[in-house]
Amino acid sequence: MNDITDCLEREITWFTQVCNARFDAYFKADHSAPDIEILCPPPDISASDSPYAQLVRECNMSFAERLVLMLAFMPHLRPQVLDLFLLQNASLGRGYSEIGGWRGKIHSGFLPTCETAAFLLAGADLAQRFKVATLFKDEHFFTRSGMLKFDHQASGEPQLGSALMLSNEYLQRLSDGEVHKPDFSANFPAKLMQTKLDWADLVLNPEVMEEIDHIVTWLRQPQHILQAWGLDKAIKPGYRTLFYGPPGTGKTLTASLIGKAVGADVYRIDLSMVVSKYIGETEKNLANVFDQAQNKNWILFFDEADSLFGKRTQTSNSNDRHANQEVSYLLQRVEDFPGVVILATNLKANIDQAFSRRFQSEVYFAMPDVEQRKRLWRGLFSNPERIAGDVDFQKIAEKYELAGGALLNVARYAAIRALKNGRALIVQDDLIVGIGRELIKDGKTL
């Protein structure tokens, strides 16, 4: 921790020197633009192992990039350093336009904008101002990595008026050195999916496993596949696939295992928190998810996707037009997303055809056949010694057509029933009663 604070203390001192030098030159002299980089060289942090120093080296940051990062970090680090920027224009009775800045709802101090960065780095030098503006373009690593966020809410106003903010992910990383995964919240309506199961626990048709292997191969070497065959100019990065089939056939588990196989986090989007009846809110919520996932090694999993990616309709009123606009927006974001998007649905027919045309693959998860059901039954119970001798998995598999998800429910019920009746073993009747309960859900009987 000492190395973290020592490094940041030196950066704060340097940042303060730059601010004082700029204000002295701009307000106390003749608006001259001294070479701030020569006047206030940054400290040497090449020997520091702090997260901040590591990030500076990792990105090979220039003087300007390092200063912008500290400007965004300062409200969290030492907000009083920015009080200098609250200087008022006595003749106008307000702040200086060229300094920029904004006020938060609770925070009473100065919060920087991109204009603030331009003031620090360029002063009144127009050529330097144009150079600073390139730091906030989409292709810069500030944006590509999600390190900084530029919140521009007012249409038609200057882009440099955008709020300059350090992302939560990098705030945590620079503060304690840990890379934190986003937590489920209103600002990030997605949950990290994890499983203790492995491929051996997944029972699928060979054709389906071949499709899954195809996806895994892509995820392991996407750039090699695009560049080795010269496809990078014609094919966008990213992969989009549709999993469809009856409920309980392994779609969600497969998505989790794909992530596990390639070392990628799989986030399940909570559609109940994404979809909104208010115009523009659904798009805003989805934009928040896609923006945070941009350039991360994440897999986005949309379960019951037909509720969000449904077919567009003939426009007879404003509600229809708005719904169609939502689908069009989704189509664009999914197509432009450089990562992996998996849509899962029980009803493929309800998915808009515009999405289907843009899927790299469509994988059908069928109901398991007799042999697969037998494997599923045996795989469910890792302690076979707790299964009574009268249990006949072959007979049950042949007689009752159930998906893997339903089998899990039966196994849970059978274990509870055996315990409730004071038995150490699960008997055939426990399973039969459990199967009957599952069949009733589908309107069937034993």
Question: Which residue range forms the structural domain that includes residue 260?
Answer: 190-364
Return d(Cα 109, Cα 86) in angstroms, integer: 8
Domain-terminating residue out of 341, 364, 387:
364
Would 328 be classed as within a structural domain?
Answer: yes
Give the pLDDT confidence score for residue 32 in this predicted structure. 56
Q: Are residues 247 and 139 in the same domain?
A: no
| 161: Cα separation from own chain's centroid | 26
Q: Are residues 210 and 138 in the same domain?
A: no
Query: What separation in angstroms does the CA of 70 have from each of 14, 66, 137, 147?
Result: 10, 6, 18, 12
Return d(Cα 182, Cα 171) in angstroms, integer: 12
Q: Are residues 37 and 155 in the same domain?
A: yes
Q: Are residues 23 and 66 in the same domain?
A: yes
Q: Collect all residues with Cβ–Cβ distance below 8 Å to 8 and sequence separation of at least 6.
A: 50, 52, 77
Sheet holding 340-345, edge to edge: 190-193, 265-269, 298-302, 340-345, 239-244, 361-364
Give the pLDDT confidence score for residue 175 in this predicted structure. 86
Q: Are residues 10 and 139 in the same domain?
A: yes
Would 310 be classed as within a structural domain?
Answer: yes
Q: Are residues 263 and 200 in the same domain?
A: yes
Return d(Cα 158, Cα 136) in angstroms, integer: 13
Residues of the chain short of pLDDT 50, as ranges, are 312, 314-320
Would 185 be classed as within a structural domain?
Answer: no
Q: Are residues 114 and 252 in the same domain?
A: no
Give the pLDDT confidence score for residue 186 in this predicted structure. 57
Return d(Cα 353, Cα 243) in angstroms, integer: 15
Give the pLDDT confidence score for residue 89 in this predicted structure. 81
Would 181 be classed as within a structural domain?
Answer: no
Give the pLDDT confidence score for residue 382 in this predicted structure. 82
Q: Are residues 89 and 207 in the same domain?
A: no
Q: Are residues 127 and 229 in the same domain?
A: no
Measure the CA angle with vertex 137, ends 131 and 143; round to 5°: 125
Domain-terminating residue out of 176, 200, 224:
176
pLDDT in tens, 126-183: 999 999 999 999 889 998 888 998 887 777 788 899 999 998 889 988 987 776 666 6
Would 184 be classed as within a structural domain?
Answer: no
Q: Are residues 164 and 211 in the same domain?
A: no
Domain-terminating residue out of 364, 381, 411:
364
Would 183 be classed as within a structural domain?
Answer: no
Q: Are residues 336 and 302 in the same domain?
A: yes
Would 163 be classed as within a structural domain?
Answer: yes
Would 182 be classed as within a structural domain?
Answer: no
**Number of folded domains that form the chain:** 3
Q: Are residues 140 and 252 in the same domain?
A: no
Supply the CATH number for residue 230's domain.
3.40.50.300
Give the pLDDT confidence score for residue 80 in this predicted structure. 95
